[in-house]
Amino acid sequence: MISCNQCGRTPEIFTESRVTTSQDVFGNLNSHSSVLFLLSSLYKLRRSGCDQSLHFSPGPFEASTMGVFSYIRSIYALDTIDTRFTNSSATPYQTVLNKRAENAAAYAKRDDSIPGTGGKTDHSGRPVAQPSKWNTPEFYIYYLVFIVIVPLMFWVTYDVSRPSHPNYPKFERWLSPGWVPGRKIDISDAQYRTFRDNVPYLALLLVAHPLLRKLYNLLRPVASRSQGCSPKPSGNSAFVSVADGEARMEQRASFDYGFTFIFLGAMHGFSALKIILILYINFQLATGLPRKFIPAATWIFNIAILFANELSDGYRFASMTAYISPMQGGFLNEMGTWMDSYGGIMRRWEILFNITVLRLISFNLDYYFSLDAKTGSHLEKKQLDPAYLSERDRVKTPASPKDYSLRNYIAYAIYAPLYLAGPIITFNDYVSQLKYPAASIETARTVKYGIRFLMCLLAIELVLHFNYCIAISKGSPIWSDYTPAQLSLMSYFNLHILWLKLLLPWRFFRLWALVDGMDPPENMLRCLSNNPSTVAFWRGWHKSYNRWLIRYIYVPLGGASSKTWIDQVRTCINYALVFTFVALWHDISLNLLVWGWLIVLFMMPEIVAGLLFPRRKWENNLFAYRVLCGIGVLGNLMLMMMANLVGFAVGVDGLKSIIHGIFKDWSGLIFLVTACSALFVGIQVMFEVREAEMRKGIFLKC
């Protein structure tokens, strides 16, 4: 309905007798008579003394439509992915919820690009956030480029994947029957195929595990609320005492500990004994050695485990018994072979044990840090309520000495939802969430997160039905058979499939953890095509691992500093050490080691450019600065794509073929110029996406 803002009167044309919704109004404006009637009605309203603007309120149809679109939009909001992206890690999320409830309307209309609104400002006192460019002529041109280029990109890769292509017989054997009519699916990638085949069983676990916990909680309920000493509630309505927190941890940790042995036995059979032995040795190193030896012993032992797992093929029982008893056919040999035959659902347990190694190191170093800190004094000094800690305080505040027990350690290291692929959560954070439920876990947000996971699963399925770039790379291709555009776009989509196949397990296991009442960090924030910075890319890619690296390697090494050139060199050395560990942690492979060093090398231009062209020197000409940054990012993206192609896609030889194909004739150079132009447009859109976040007061480092 449409009415006057001042008196509420409705013109005749908008009354229920004539129309029900504004859709009917505009549907009636297809004749001169309707237009004249509308104008005369508005004139009568004005003559009656209404000089205010009209208010258009949605009818039932518009309200329901707006509700659906609003919900869909909220599914793709940053807050849905992880509240850590929209709120400071130093602010307890309960505080954020309270403020949001009080100022919901103001938050929705927030625009920090308007001077005087209290947003972040630059050196001149002007808002850092810039006015929106979405409705400017510049961006209308960009939209046109997107409309043309993006479908063309899909067409190029679809064209080389059609049965009519001359090379189709070479890779057809790598394709499988698909569910899209008339198309096969490329599930030749072993990682994604394994995940895809096990989705029904994982979905069953997602439902069964939390239900088993609820059943356990019914059988062993938390003791009634104690009146023991605890911090003051400080106005929190849902006050949780220290005694309540201890009782909750006892309940949850006991279930996690018991479920560990059932889960390990089902997953790895008798190999679970090897995992328990490794965990026990690591625990003894942390709790049995003098404090000064703990870090060195932890790193030596766990890096040695990474190498030993790879070189010994998971310590097969048959190999161990053959070493002890060289005689063939003996009892020990038969016993070893029999034990190997019961390897559980995942016989090769060592493949994904790298994730567990990170948790082992986290426990040891968190325990090491706790020996030099007093939990109570830290909470008292900051006047913190342990039930409402910020995410930063949950990570940094050491647990009490009794919490570093063998039971809690095993429950943490083999916590079922995060065991196979993460995300990584520190031991301190795990214990804190055992005691006090995270305020960020809300049913509505978890449902939206689940819907978003399903949309990502649908996306990769559709891409793999129409784009066979992985199968093509496995079919012993002759790269010279393809044009530079085809080579480049196949590699580009190969990287996106890599991104999606890693995103899906991470999001599924985080969804499982959220349903179970644990809130680990989100691993992926940005799409692969939404990363204009190499440094920022690695902050956002496998984010929980990045945070782990910062806490346990990067900061202890000295972190980053740009005060002097010596500090810059030290920072680069730290980067090199971190990425060397990252490469070795992923796999003992020359390609990945080269990839790690290339990443560090390709970070250098961005770091140097940041020193030579700081934003503060361009505050009076931000348009020129945006164009300059776009050109710099263009070169940076090229280098970043090359590094990832070497590490995860076509290798060194494939990259050489792509470069040779581009520069061998004019067609390759024309493609290069076209691709660079399209990338430049994409970069400007990336910048504006971040500007839109800044207008809402969100300043992400990725």
What is the distance between the alpha carbons of residues 141 and 131, in angstroms, rounded to a whole number? Answer: 18
Residues 6+ apart with CB under 8 A from 439: 92, 93, 94, 97, 388
CB 634 within 8 A of CB 676: yes
54: three-class secondary structure by DSSP: strand
3: which strand partners? 55
CB 479 within 8 A of CB 654: yes
177: which strand partners? 184
141: three-class secondary structure by DSSP: helix
Active site residue: 165, 378, 496, 586, which one? 586
Look at phi and psi of residue 21 and say left if phi exceeds 0, alpha if psi is from -120 to 50, else beta.
beta
CB 641 within 8 A of CB 495: yes
How crowded is the C-beta side of 47, counted as CA atoms within 13 Å?
Answer: 7
- What DSSP string runs through 266-319? HHHGGGHHHHHHHHHHHHHHHHHS-GGGHHHHHHHHHHHHHHHHHHTTTT-HHH
121: three-class secondary structure by DSSP: strand
Q: How far is CA 326 from CA 87, 320, 322, 331, 336, in A?
A: 62, 10, 5, 11, 12
Longest alpha-carbon distance in the chain: 109
Tokens 């300059």 -> residue: 628
What is the distance between the alpha carbons of residues 559 and 575, in angstroms, rounded to a whole number? Answer: 9
How crowded is the C-beta side of 65, counted as CA atoms within 13 Å?
Answer: 7
Is residue 586 annotated as part of the catalytic site, yes or no? yes
Residue 220: how many other CB atoms lie within 10 Å: 12
Tell me the two tokens of residue 425.
């959560």
Of the chain, the end-to-end C-alpha distance in Å amounts to 44
CB 412 within 8 A of CB 257: no
Catalytic residues: 586
